[in-house]
Chains A and B, each alone.
Chain A
């Protein structure tokens, strides 16, 4: 390019210019548009599961023609064995322990993010769909006014050999406290989060630059109070996956993701109102359409339209996506119609409900944890709880079912302990009671790893995430647990 200064070499200049022109045409188009196409993978995955039945299994032809005789001979014997098996008590209580017998729960890793300087606490944890990445959201509990903290979401990949306990694999900065995060159930890189300011955000961790792919913004359609929970649900046919968020303003909104505009648009919404409260809790003079803050929600494992909602008032509601409840009051401004989803009300806790979860094994059981220091097991069909467990360790901040063993519940308390209950072995005393934080800090979040079932993560008030390895007893399934849970939860007509 320095040739320009030598004016006597003019003809050469033109040649060089031509070179430059060529180079310019060599730049290729940006690949960003391709990435947008890839983001539709979530739909493709659903389609792929449908293709399997089309492949036909080529069964061999029966050449000897003796099949009927063979079946005639063996059928009576087989039927006799089948009936014997159902009645047999030979294997009752016979449990084989073939794996190495570890009876204790040990802590594997303690993950921290030092830049937070212990000022932030872990508000929620989530494992991704492959079970190899744990994500933690951080926030502060004390806010006087609008949130002005700059918080982060950190993820660690536990399958990497060189895992460094105080260096997260990825950090996403958020400009307010993050209250809840949830990884997508199929795509291991997509994660949704709810912030203190009422915003619902969606990130894609596989992107190099800006990981934020959609946000609900801070307008009338988003939440007006901190988002308490975000949840991914599959629709009735099991094909599409939607994002639902719940918040202290009583709204439960189902979102539609608009990738191009990078916005989350509300698709359907519900509002939990005071008219759904049980009679003894209603306050005279308060209108029926005042909103009740939603603190947690859980969708039913089999019935896609039923969900359980826990509220700040301590009341637990059973709700339905298709309910035609009364609409929200006229003081609520929203672009989509909001109505009450409540179909049934359960006997309330004496304090805000911090967690509810429907059992993944039995269609009628769900567990709830509350500030009134107890854990309750409810049947979906009756208002009174079936079982109340009082650990006596302060507020119970979270309770969750084990994804492998139907009678195991893990709970975390204000006194910094992780309690693991096995209902088959004792309904009041936990099988494990382990300190999960350094100096009696309350433990706010706890999540089982659905893929690698020996792992459990907890997060405490100083921002530390602990990964525990569960004992082999907690993962051994004997097949009778679902029956045991069913017997516990069965409503007896008395």
Chain B
């Protein structure tokens, strides 16, 4: 239990990280460092996007699989690490001074 919290804290304290959300296979957040409405928004949308990305990769080559997804926008970068049971979402602002 504490190892999980420590890991989350380590990632959160990295420079530029605005938040981190861990989502389960059903798209429901199980850990988060952001506020409620943002968490709900991110988990719903990113879960769908990661599923679509995974199916795209597998459709192109059935032996391939999605390992990492990064979305870069004007204000920040969203990094998604997928897994069978979980999804780790980290939001970072690379321009953080």
Point out residues on A near B: beta carbons under 8 Å: 52-53, 55-57, 59-64, 66-68, 70-75, 77-79, 81-83, 85-86, 88, 91, 476-480, 482-483, 486
Contacts of B10 in A (CB 8 A): 75, 79
Task: List 7 additional contacts besides A71-B8, A476-B74; criterion CB under 8 Å.
Answer: A64-B85, A67-B86, A74-B81, A78-B11, A82-B14, A82-B16, A88-B94
Closest to B28 in A: A60
In the assembled complex, the CB of A117 is this many whole angstroms from the nearest CB of chain B, namely 48
Q: Which A residue sits closest to B15, measured CB to CB?
A: A86
Q: How far is the CB of A233 from chain B (nearest CB, A)?
A: 26
Measured CB to CB, the closest approach of chain B to A486, in angstroms, equals 7
- Which of A63, A68, A478 is close to B4, meaning CB atoms less than 8 Å apart? A68
List 8 interface pairs A-B (beta carbons < 8 Å), by A numbering.
Answer: A52-B36, A59-B30, A62-B24, A71-B7, A72-B7, A78-B79, A85-B16, A91-B72
Residues of A within 8 A of B64 (CB): none
Chain A residues near B35 (CB-CB < 8 A): 52-53
Chain B, residues 74-97, CB within 8 Å of chain A (1/0): the string is 110101010101101010111111
Q: A59-B29, A86-B16 are in contact. Are A70 and B95 (CB under 8 A)?
A: no
Q: Could you say which of B4, B14, B30, B39 contacts A61, with CB atoms under 8 Å apart? A: B30
Contact across chains for A60 and B39 when beta carbons are under 8 A apart: no
Q: Mark B28-49, 1 if CB is under 8 A from A, else 0.
A: 1111100111011000000000
Partner of B97, one of A56, A77, A482: A482
Q: Are B75 and A479 in contact (CB under 8 A)?
A: yes
Whether B95 and A480, one on each chain, are in contact in the complex, defined by CB atoms closer than 8 angstroms, is yes
**Which residues of chain B are within 8 angstroms of A482 by Cβ–Cβ distance?**
97
In the complex, which residues of chain B have a beta carbon less than 8 angstroms from the beta carbon of A66?
85-86
CB-contact partner of B36 in A55, A67, A82, under 8 A:
A55
Residues of B within 8 A of A60 (CB): 24, 26, 28-30
A83 to B90: give the CA distance in the assembly, Å.
Answer: 13
B61 at the interface (CB under 8 A from A): no
* A71 pairs with B88, CB closer than 8 A: yes
**Min distance, Cβ A237 to any Cβ of chain B, angstroms:** 19
CA of A70 to CA of B7, assembled, Å: 11
A70 touches B83 (CB 8 A): yes
Return the CB mask of B46-81 against A: 1 if under 8 Å, else 0.
000000000000000000000010101011010101
**What 3 A-B pairs are tightest by C-beta distance, nearest first?**
A60-B28, A57-B36, A479-B95
**Is B32 touching A57 in the complex (CB atoms < 8 A)?**
yes
Contact assessment for A59 and B32 in the assembled complex, using a CB-CB cutoff below 8 Å = yes
Quick one: which of B10, B85, B92 has the most chain A CB within 10 A? B85
CB <8 Å contact, B95 and A79? no
Q: Which residues of B contact A68 (CB under 8 A)?
A: 3-4
Once bound together, how far apart are the Cα atoms of A228 and B37, in whole Å?
42
B96 surroundings in chain A (CB, below 8 A)? 86
Q: CA A83 – CA B75 in complex, angstroms?
A: 17
With known contacts A82-B14, A82-B17, A478–B28 Cβ distance under 8 A: no
A98 CB to nearest chain B CB (Å): 10
- For the complex formed, measure the closest distance between the CB of A72 and the CB atoms of chain B, giving whole angstroms: 7
CA distance A59 to B29 in the complex (A): 6
Roughly how many angstroms separate A74 CA and B4 CA in the complex, as a whole number? 12
With A479-B95, A483-B97 already in contact, the answer to whether A67 and B81 are too (CB < 8 A) is no
Report chain A residues within 8 Å CB of B77.
Answer: 85
Residues of A within 8 A of B93 (CB): 479
Q: Give the chain A neighbours of B37 by CB distance below 8 A.
A: 52
Q: How far is the CB of A397 from chain B (nearest CB, A)?
A: 34
Q: How distant is the Cα of A71 from the Cα of B3 in the complex, in angstroms? A: 9
Q: Determine the chain A residues whose CB is within 8 A of the CB of B68 once the complex forms.
A: 77, 81
Q: Report B13 CB to chain A, min CB distance, Å.
A: 11
Q: Which residue of B lies closest to A62 (CB)?
A: B30
Which A residues are in CB contact (< 8 Å) with B30? 59-62, 67
CB of B85 within 8 A of CB of A79, answer: no
Q: How far does the Cβ of B26 sit from chain A's closest Cβ, in whole Å?
A: 7
Measured between beta carbons, the chain A residues less than 8 angstroms from B31 are: 59, 67
Residues of A within 8 A of B3 (CB): 68, 71-72
C-alpha spacing A88/B72, complex, angstroms? 13
Q: Which of A52, A74, A91, A486 contacts B88 (CB 8 A)?
A: A74
Query: For residue A77, which residues in chain B have a CB less than 8 angstroms away from its CB?
Result: 68, 81
Question: Quick one: closest B residue to A53, CB to CB?
Answer: B35
